[in-house]
Structure 1
Amino acid sequence: MTSAPPLQPQPQTQAQPQASRLEPHYGQPQTQMQKKVPRRFAPLNPERRGQRESLLAAGGGGGGGAGMMMAEEEPVLKGVVFDVDGTLCLPQNYMFQEMRTEEPTPITPSLVLHRSVLGIDKSVDIITHIRSLPTLEERTEAAAKVKAIERAAMTKQKPQPGLVQLMDYLHSRGVRRALCTRNFEAPVTHLLTTHLPAHVFTPIITRDTPDLLPKPDPAGLLHIAKEWGLENGASDLIMVGDSLDDMTAGHKAGAATVLLVNDHNKSLIEHDHTNLWIKQLDELIGILEDGFVSPREIS
Structure 2
Amino acid sequence: MAQRRFAPLDTDGGDVPVLKGIVFDVDGTLWQGSGSSLPQHYMFQEMRDALGIEKGVDIIHHIRGLPTFTARTDAIAIVRDIERKAMVKQVPQPGLVELMDYLNSKNVKRALCTRNFDGPVNHLIKSHLATHVFAPIITRDTPNIMPKPDPAGILHIARAWELEDASGLIMVGDSLDDMTAGHKAGAATVLLLNERNQDLKDHEHTDLCIERLDELINVLETGFCGTRERP
TM-score (norm 2): 0.92
Aligned residue type for 2:4: R
User: Distance in 2 between the 1:217 and 1:125 partners?
Assistant: 13
User: Distance in 1 between the 2:151 and 2:65 partners?
Assistant: 23
Q: CA deviation digits over 1:258-295, x for unaligned, max 9? A: 00001111111101111000000000000000000121
One of 113, 118, 122 as aligned partner of 1:189: 122
Aligned residue type for 2:3: P
User: Distance in 1 between the 2:112 and 2:25 partners?
Assistant: 6
User: Distance in 1 between the 2:197 and 2:70 partners?
Assistant: 37
User: Distance in 2 between the 1:283 and 1:126 partners?
Assistant: 32
Q: State whether structure 2 residue 223 is matched by structure 1 residue 258.
A: no
Q: State whether structure 2 residue 77 is matched by structure 1 residue 144.
A: yes
Q: CA deviation digits over 1:189-209, x for unaligned, max 9? A: 001100111100000001111
Q: CA RMSD in A?
A: 1.5
Q: Could you tell me how far 1:130 is from its partner in structure 2? A: 1.9
Q: Could you tell me how far 1:131 is from its partner in structure 2? A: 2.2
Look up the SS of the partner of 1:226 in the other structure.
Answer: helix
Q: Could you tell me how far 1:138 is from its partner in structure 2? A: 1.7
Q: State whether structure 2 residue 158 is matched by structure 1 residue 225.
A: yes
Q: State whether structure 2 residue 46 is matched by structure 1 residue 85.
A: no
Matched with 1:21 is: none
Look up the SS of the partner of 2:172 in the other structure.
Answer: strand
Aligned residues: 222
Aligned residue type for 1:263: E
Percent of paired sites with the same residue: 68
One of 204, 218, 233 as aligned partner of 2:137: 204
Q: State whether structure 2 residue 16 is matched by structure 1 residue 42.
A: no
Note the 1:7-22 alignment, pairs <5 A.
none
Q: Show structure 1 runs of 5+ residues with no match.
A: 1-35, 54-72, 102-116
Matched with 1:274 is: 206
Q: Which of the two has higher C-alpha Rg?
A: 1
Matched with 1:161 is: 94
Q: Could you tell me how far 1:37 is from its partner in structure 2? A: 4.7
One of 32, 50, 68 as aligned partner of 1:135: 68
User: Distance in 2 between the 1:88 and 1:201 partners?
Assistant: 13
Q: Could you tell me how far 1:175 is from its partner in structure 2? A: 0.3
Aligned residue type for 1:270: D
TM-score (norm 1): 0.72
Q: Could you tell me how far 1:128 is from its partner in structure 2? A: 2.3
